[in-house]
Amino acid sequence: MEDYSAIDQSPLIGFLFYPRRDFSACPQGAFDYFVPVAPGISISTRFYEKDKGWPWILYFHGNGEVVSDYDEIAPLYHRQQINLILADYRGYGASGGSPTFTHLIKDGHKILETVIETLQERNLNKGLWVMGRSMGSVVALDLARHFPDKIRGLIIESGFASVTRLIKHLGLPSRGIDLRAVEEERLAMIREISLPALIIHGEEDNLVPLQEGKDLYQFLGSPRKKLVVIPNADHNSVMFHGLEAYFKSIREFLAS
C-alpha cells in the first residue's frame, strides 16, 4: 500500500477533504450495508440492484459527495443494464471517523472484500468493475493494482496521475512537505496496473486539468485501455454534458 503519511500528517489534510454528514432513506429496490473498518467505525455503502443478471460497478464518489447523492443517478446506470454500488468515506454520509488518504486506501480494501462477499451470498456476482470519480480515483486505482483477480476492469472519471501537481494546481500550502516519495510510489503503482481501463475526462476541467487524465492514461500499465474526452465538459458536468457518449463508453467497456 502506498504511504500517504506525508500528506495525512501535514496541514494539507484539512484542505483536501470536504466531508458531508448527509444521509437519506434508502430508495425502493436498493439496500444499505455498513462495512466495519475499525472499532466503532463503519462505512456506509448502498447497493442499487435492478436485475440479478446485470454486472455491477463499485463506485467511489468525488469529494464533497455522499452515497445518497446517487439515488437519482443510479437509474441512469440501470438504463444501461448495470447495477451500481456506492461507497462513502470516513466522515461522509452516515460513516464514522475522519478521512485521511491512508484510511481511504485501507477502507477500500475492506469495502471490496465485503461487497464481493455480499454479492456472492445473494447470488448476484455477475461480474464486478471498480469506478472512481475525482478523489474516488485514489481508491479505485489502488484496488485495481492490488486485486486484479477480483475485478473485471477499472473506470476513472476526472481522475489524476500526479498528487504533487494537483496540489500545486489547486494552490494548496505545501511548503516544507516532502511529497517526492508519495509521487514516486503513486506513479509506480499506476504503471503496475494491468486490468482493462477506461479513462473519462472533461475537456474543460479546471479543477483536475485534462492533462491529468491524459497522463493517467499514458502511465497505466494496462495493455487494454481507452481515453474518452467529453467536449466542453468541466469537472462536475462530465456525465450530464456528455450523457450519450459517457454511457456508451461505459456500456461498451463492460461488454468488451
Asked whether the predicted pLDDT for residue 173 surpasses 80, the reply is no
63 in Cβ contact with 135 (< 8 Å): yes
Confidence at 166, pLDDT banded by 50, 70, 90: confident
pLDDT tens by residue, 214-232: 999 999 999 999 999 999 9
| Type of residue found at 25 | A
Sequence-distant (6+) residues with CB within 8 A of 178 are 6
Mean pLDDT of the 140-160 span: 98
Q: How far apart are CA 117 and CA 125, in angstroms?
A: 9
pLDDT tens by residue, 124-149: 878 999 999 999 999 999 999 999 99
Summary mean pLDDT of the chain: 94
Q: What sign does the dihedral 204-206-208-210 (CA atoms) show?
A: positive
**Angle in degrees, 0-180, between the axes of helices 180-191 and 136-146, rounded to the nearest 10:** 50
- Give residue 179's pLDDT: 84
| Type of residue found at 67 | V
Mean pLDDT of the 24-39 span: 95
Q: Which element (helix H / strand E) includes 46?
A: strand 41-48
More confident residue, 245 or 124: 245
For β-strands 30-38 and 41-48, DSSP reports them as antiparallel
Confidence at 209, pLDDT banded by 50, 70, 90: very high
The DSSP string of 190-243 is HHT--S-EEEEEETT-SSS-HHHHHHHHHH---SSEEEEEETT--TT-HHHHTH
Mean pLDDT of the 81-94 span: 97
pTM of the model: 0.96
- Give residue 165's pLDDT: 86
Asked whether the predicted pLDDT for residue 176 surpasses 80, the reply is no
Confidence at 121, pLDDT banded by 50, 70, 90: very high
Mean pLDDT of the 151-160 span: 98
Q: Please, what are the domains in the chain?
A: 5-255 (3.40.50.1820)
Q: How far is CA 101 from CA 75, 108, 237, in A?
A: 30, 11, 25
Q: Is 149 exposed, middle or buried (CB count within 10 Å of its CB: 0-12, 13-18, 19+)?
A: exposed
Strand order in the sheet with 41-48: 30-38, 41-48, 83-87, 56-60, 128-133, 154-157, 197-202, 225-230
Asked whether the predicted pLDDT for residue 52 surpasses 80, the reply is yes
Q: Please give the backbone phi and psi of residue 223, each rounded to the nearest 5 degrees, phi first.
A: -70, -25
**Angle in degrees, 0-180, between the axes of helices 210-219 and 180-191, rounded to the nearest 10:** 60
pLDDT tens by residue, 181-191: 888 999 999 99
